A and B are shown apart, each in its own frame.
Chain A
Amino acid sequence: MIFRTINPRTTTRPALRKVRTGAALRPLQHRLDPARVEEIPFRAADGVRLGLTRIDSGDRDRPAVLILHGHTASADMFVQPETRNLVDVLLDGGYEPWLLDWRGSCRLPNNETGRKYTYDDVALYDIPEAVNHIRRRIGDRPLFVVAHCIGSLSLSLSMTAGLVPGLAGVVSQGVFLTPKLAGSTSLRMSVAAELLKSRIDHIPVDFRKVGLWSKYTPLFALASRKASCPDPTCQILHNSAWCSGASLFVHEQLSEATHNRLADLLGPAPLWILPHLRRIELARSVVRWHDTDYRYRALPPNALDAAARIDTPVLLLAGSENGLWLDSQELCRDILARRQPQLDVEYIEIPGYGHLDTFLGRGAALDVFGHILDFLGERR
């Protein structure tokens, strides 16, 4: 009953969809000097509003680093005020950080109420256009990319399509060319999502926004099974990420402040993205969704087969306890070493870290960002 779409009482409601999050970008939450944070109005070629932020270091000669967040996260995850974050470390290390909020950002309304997209759009429009925009601004200074999760997966599609040539180096966290999920996660994603998709279109993470009694209540209840933490948002991210059974982070790596802010850092996950994600995951390689739409023909049908087009050193990072993508990065290193031995690919495992906590964890600066600085420093 709880999943019924049309309630007799609601038939009288206006047909207009209620837009709960505004069309404009939610403000970035940071503790930087506001004068140094430059928000750039930025739209992709297909008209979707995106967010691009430049952190001004006061120095015009620094190499630029474009940072890509994961799906349903946002640039907030790199500037979080409560811990030493990646932007702090890059600024101190002599770089100029650029933050892109691609269309899957929770600072944008797309996931919840906006128009549908696939990762093809991210790879074809968002990332290449952001790179081109930054290139126009920085001239011939080197440009690095640090990418997390789906940001990194989409970047791999852009790179193998040859849409972002000449990067100075790429740091990929969590997953790159060979996504691999646990069997149970894959099963839930394929089957359960198929049953739900005609009833709901996204899975929220913030209990406060949907209330105690809603059609999402059973999902929260499901996610709370055998959970050790009583916070429902933590349960639906840590214990069972959007009810998929995966775990996004190692609980004790987060500071209390970050833990309390999880609902700001991660947003609802749309269900209509799942067919593309499922196709990618079952193939264990990044594949294009649009096979018949010629607008997307610049993208390779299978990014792993096109990996020879990668023209930049790649650092693959992953937490040893990654509860979502498991050992995808190690697998990627092994496969690229065998199939594309000419590529400069390095893999570093962060012991004791999960997926999101490699950027959000309170010790991330100590355990993770040092590796990123080392990699960038050798190639700047």
Chain B
Amino acid sequence: MGDLNDDASAYAGARATAESIERGGSGLGVNDLLAKVMAAGMPEQTPAEPKAAADVAPAVDVDTLAATIATIAGRYLPEQHLSPDADFFDAGGTSVHAVELVAELERELGIEFDLDEVFADARPISLARRWAEATGNVLPAPTPRVEPPPAATRLPAAPATPYTTAGREDLDQILADLALADRLPFTSSPEPLPPRRILLTGATGFLGSHMLLDLLRHSDAHVYCLVRAADETAAATRLGEALKSYKLPWSSEIRRRITVLPGDIRQPHLGLSDDLWNSLAHELDSIVGVAAAVDFLRGYHSLRQSNVLGALTLAELAATGRPKPLHHISSVAVFNEVGITAMGEDDPLAHIDRLIAGYDQSKWAAEVALRRARDHGLIVTAMRPGGIGGHTKTGAYNPQDLSSGFLSAFGRFRTVPAFHYLNAAPVDWVSRTAVAVVCEPDAWGYDYNLTGVPNTLDDVVRDMAFGGMHVRVQEWDEWRADAVARLQSEEIPELAFLSRVLQSPTALKLCEATIKGPAALDDRTAALVEALGLPPAARYDARAQLKTFEKLADDGLGRLPQKDDRPYLWFTETTEGTVGEFGRPADTPCSMALTLSIASMHQLVSERRVDVRGTLTCPAVHAEPVTVERGDIVVRPDEGIPEQHGLRHQLLSYRLELVDADGGRWWLDGRKYARARRDVWRQTRALTVEIGREGESASLKGEVVVPADSYVRDQIDGIKVDPRLTSQEKRAAKLTWLAWFGMEMGKGMLGPFARVAADLLDLRRTTTPTERNR
């Protein structure tokens, strides 16, 4: 994710340069720039064109401009080449590349494209045509290269509507794509048997890779994975890398049960040779289509190859040769219309003319096209996950997923927008349930919502408070404005994509529909899960999200409270006692005034650590008080296991770094021990300390004790909590800390006593009774 930052700032820089050029009225005209680039960039490919461009000065052919854009765009692609009517993203470009491309086009051509336009339709020819329409100073393109929809499917002119409608061009294309389903062959029903040979697409994706493992675990099938790569070795490497990145195993045991097929979902016959296509058509007995381009910024034209035509190619494979069921991973995006009232498994899908975002349109079109395929006899299962949350056990998450982005934004900004429901389920449940459908013939051919139990706003706020993150609720518009402002001012590279989504008008429609949508219903899925004895859907709550949140924080997307933040809870501790040099009586007074604090409850539960600041006063160290620069207290270190064989269990360990007034550095190591003795109260307060200069061994040792009368005053009554919290939250925080600490100390003190009691019990004679059953 590191390079994202560089790219984004490079983009900002380039944009600023281009803007300054425009403001300053740079002497160069568009055509001059065009000529310059084409002379430099592509002399051997189109030798005649620079001349033409120079000759026909005022009017630039759209095709020529498209070719130029294609040349520039080609530099960002793995194949170093892009044809003018191919989509930049389909050819392997990423969102980051798109940002760079826009900057590059500005720099070289002086044409400023809106980033959203590029996302909506990233074919150079479309970009050129749009620029032409906007400026109006070029010849119209002689032949538009968009596939013309059949006349019969063209829409009548749309009447004025109260809602935002999809683009006319998009609707035409969607209708044309739906008609492709009518060309599928007719087929008969497949054998209702658990599959033995499965084709899986999208195995390198987040859901796909989890499904691959679940297919292997829960069936005896051999799985063919279609992976986009040049050859089989590259494909296997790519698949292995993907699995490892999601913390999934990749070993010889997995490789022996899969076959990796280099291919491409967007190409006819999946980019496979005819022989392979034919043998697959006759050998496979199940097809699972998970592959999709998941990008909320790109438009329908940019996504249809992967999301719609890809699905239709799989349907063709399913209907050819031996009949086999097609299991299609759709999305609740098919309901993603602002104001939809119900999202049940058999409820009508959204109105296509009210779907704005290209992703929603493409998932809708794919599902509707496959519904038509059902009329050709094909068994099609449509499974619609909602948000797919991180794995509850490994924490693996999808960094490009909107819900991960939102989750980290919630935790970082401590605010949430007022949504109705979050239809999200963890990937392990979604994957397991989807695989159960694939493996159970009785479940084939229906629609399922794999949305789990929806989270309400209340649930989320409560969960986050439970995790020590007290969030405040805002209206969606207010939240969005705040979040965008903070994302821009704080420069968080890992969240750049979220910032882009929150500023894209079409992606915003998608977000708005998600935020305001109803709870998705999953009656059929729930019935299936129960019938098969699978783990029922559980709410994706704080506990289930914990691993994901920790991983988000590790990767820089999320942020856990840290040592230097304003503490969540703190109190003071004073100790008094004496120390002395080794081998001498401990007669030098030594006292400490410490402030113990925690930044979050998470720190306690995961690291069992309390932060320490304060001063130490001891003439043997320095005449002046010595400052505790940083320090940690670990509660019950090593589960209390004694350092040496014996009954002296560890209760607390202090490790402090000290700086004296002359800049001399010291360390202090303190331990509290639990022993099976009756002075329990003193054991919890007495600290055995060793003090030494940094890098040297201990020079002083002794014991300091918390005075009995100050304990309750300082450490119970004196607990302070972050003043930003409400009094209810403060009280809860204080009680949680006391309960946790009390439990830990109780457990620690019990350790040695339990061992002594067991030793006494072992004195009993162990008889072996004559063993008879009855």
Chain A interface residues toward B at CB < 8 A = 5, 7, 10, 13, 17-18, 84, 89, 92-93, 112-113, 116, 178, 180, 183, 186, 190, 194, 197-202, 210-211, 213-216, 252, 272, 275, 278-279, 282-285, 287, 301-302, 304-305, 320-321, 331, 334-335, 338-339, 351-352, 362-363, 365-367, 369-371, 373-374
* Interface pair B766/A275, CB less than 8 Å apart: yes
- Which residues from chain B contact A370 at a C-beta distance below 8 Å? 249-254
- Shortest beta-carbon distance, B448 to chain A, in Å? 20
CA distance A272 to B767 in the complex (A): 9
Q: Does B672 contact A (CB under 8 A)?
A: no
| Cβ–Cβ contact A180 & B639, under 8 A | yes
Contact of B393 among A320, A371, A373 (CB under 8 A): A320
Contacts A282-B751, A335-B638, A366-B213: A215 and B773 contacting too (C-beta < 8 A)?
yes
Report B-chain residues with C-beta under 8 Å of the C-beta of A112. Answer: 771
| Contacts A282-B755, A284-B641 given; does A216 touch B773 at CB 8 Å | yes
Tell me whether B638 and A366 are in contact (CB under 8 A).
no
On chain B, the residues within 8 Å of A362 by CB distance are 217-218
Instruction: Flag whether B754 is at the interface (Cβ < 8 A).
Output: yes
Contact, CB under 8 Å: A363 / B638: no
CB pair A366 B249 closer than 8 Å:
yes
Residues of A within 8 A of B257 (CB): 366
B23 near A: Cβ within 8 Å? Answer: no
Determine the chain B residues whose CB is within 8 A of the CB of A202 once the complex forms.
Answer: 771
Of the candidates B535, B759, B774, the one whose C-beta lies within 8 Å of that of A213 is B774
* B645–A287 touching, CB < 8 Å: yes
3 residue pairs, one from A and one from B, having the closest CB atoms: A370-B251, A363-B217, A351-B393
Which residues of B have CB within 8 Å of A89? 253
* Complex alpha-carbon distance, A331 and B218, angstroms: 32
Q: With A211-B774, A282-B755 in contact, is A272–B766 under 8 Å at CB?
A: yes
User: Could you list 15 A-B pairs, sorted by A, with CB under 8 Å?
Assistant: A7-B774, A89-B253, A112-B771, A190-B758, A198-B767, A201-B769, A279-B755, A285-B641, A335-B641, A366-B217, A366-B254, A370-B254, A371-B249, A373-B251, A373-B252
| Bound-state Cα–Cα, A112 to B770, Å | 11
A104–B48 CA distance with the chains assembled, in angstroms? 87
A80 to chain B, nearest CB (A): 16
B residues in contact with A7, CB < 8 Å: 772, 774
Q: A334 touching B638 by the CB < 8 A rule? A: yes
Say how far A238's CB is from chain B's closest CB, in angstroms: 14
- A278 in contact with B758 (CB, 8 Å): yes
Partner of B253, one of A180, A200, A216, A369: A369
Supply 16 further A-B pairs (C-beta < 8 A) apart from A335-B641, A366-B217: A5-B769, A7-B774, A112-B771, A190-B757, A190-B758, A197-B766, A198-B767, A200-B769, A201-B768, A210-B773, A279-B759, A279-B762, A284-B639, A285-B645, A366-B251, A370-B251
Q: Which residue of A lies closest to B217 (CB)?
A: A363
Chain B stretch 200-244: residues in CB contact (< 8 A) with chain A:
213, 216-218
Which size class do B's interface residues fall under? Answer: 35 or more
With A304-B641, A331-B639 as known contacts, state yes or no: A275 contacts B762, CB within 8 Å: yes
Give the residues in chain A near B645, CB-CB below 8 Å.
Answer: 285, 287, 301-302, 304-305
Q: Are A366 and B216 in contact (CB under 8 A)?
A: yes
Q: Are B773 and A198 in contact (CB under 8 A)?
A: no
B391 within 8 A of A: yes
A215 to B216, CA, bound (A): 44
A178 to B641, Cβ gap below 8 A? yes
The interface residues of chain A lying within 8 Å CB-to-CB of B639 are 178, 180, 284, 331
Closest residue on chain A to residue B428 by CB atoms:
A352
Near A by CB (< 8 A), chain B positions 725-774 give 747, 751, 754-755, 757-759, 761-762, 764, 766-774
A320 to B247, CA, bound (A): 14
Q: B644 on the interface (CB 8 Å rule)?
A: yes
Asked if B394 is at the interface (CB within 8 A of a chain A CB), the reply is yes
Cβ-defined contact, A199 with B769, below 8 A = yes
Contacts of B766 in A (CB 8 A): 197, 272, 275
Partner of B644, one of A92, A279, A305, A365: A305
Nearest A residue to B764, CB-CB: A194
Query: Which A residues lie within 8 Å of B751 (CB)?
Result: 282, 284
Q: Is B641 in contact with A211, judged by CB distance below 8 angstroms?
A: no
B754 engages A190 (CB within 8 Å): yes
Whether B640 sits at the interface, judged by CB under 8 Å, is yes
CA distance A84 to B220 in the complex (A): 11
Assembled-state Cα–Cα distance A216/B772 (Å) = 10
Supposing A202-B771, A215-B773, A305-B644 touch, asked if A366 and B253 sit within 8 A by C-beta, the answer is: yes
Q: Is the CB of A214 within 8 A of B254?
A: no
Assembly CA distance A284 to B639 (angstroms): 8
Chain B nearest CB, measured from A357 CB (Å): 11
- B residues near A369, Cβ cutoff 8 Å: 251, 253
Chain A nearest CB, measured from B127 CB (Å): 45
